[in-house]
Amino acid sequence: MQAYEQLDAFRECDELALRTHRVLHQIEDLDPELAAQLWSAALIAASRIARGTGMGNRRMFVACIDRTLGALAEVGFHLKMARALDLVTEEIEQEIESQRGRAVFYSTKLLTDLMDGTEGAS
């Protein structure tokens, strides 16, 4: 298996976590619980890919990527909630959502490659 740093899915999830962290200061004073949930989901998305590469077992790696996709869905929900509560601007929501979309795309591609037995640079 490739090192997680080489995977496009990891790089996109890592960037999502960094972008999310940069805007948390806007949310955490008004809704610390939502900020914590958003941060946790973004962090878990990247960390599950890293964990999966360390498993040495394709089936466990697939399970980790499945959890990554679940965490990315949570990021989307928490982000929509933050926008609905006027905790983030529309511009910030679109920026993070765009990054989340790329992370979902590459994570889904990685999952497909793993299930097909063709782990590429996804």
Query: Does residue 73 lie within any of the structural domains?
Result: yes
pLDDT tens sequence across 31-84: 999 999 999 999 999 999 999 999 888 999 999 999 999 999 999 999 999 999
Query: Does residue 74 lie within any of the structural domains?
Result: yes
Query: Does residue 8 lie within any of the structural domains?
Result: no
Query: Does residue 9 lie within any of the structural domains?
Result: no
Q: What is the DSSP letter of 3?
A: -
Q: What is the DSSP letter of 88?
A: S
Residue 83: give its domain's CATH number: 1.20.1440.60
How far apart, in whole angstroms, are the C-alpha atoms of residue 16 and residue 120?
21
Query: Does residue 5 lie within any of the structural domains?
Result: no
Query: Does residue 6 lie within any of the structural domains?
Result: no
Total count of domains within the chain = 1
* pLDDT score of 121 more than 50: no
Query: Does residue 23 lie within any of the structural domains?
Result: yes
pLDDT tens sequence across 87-113: 999 999 999 999 999 999 999 999 999
For residue 57, give its domain range: 18-116
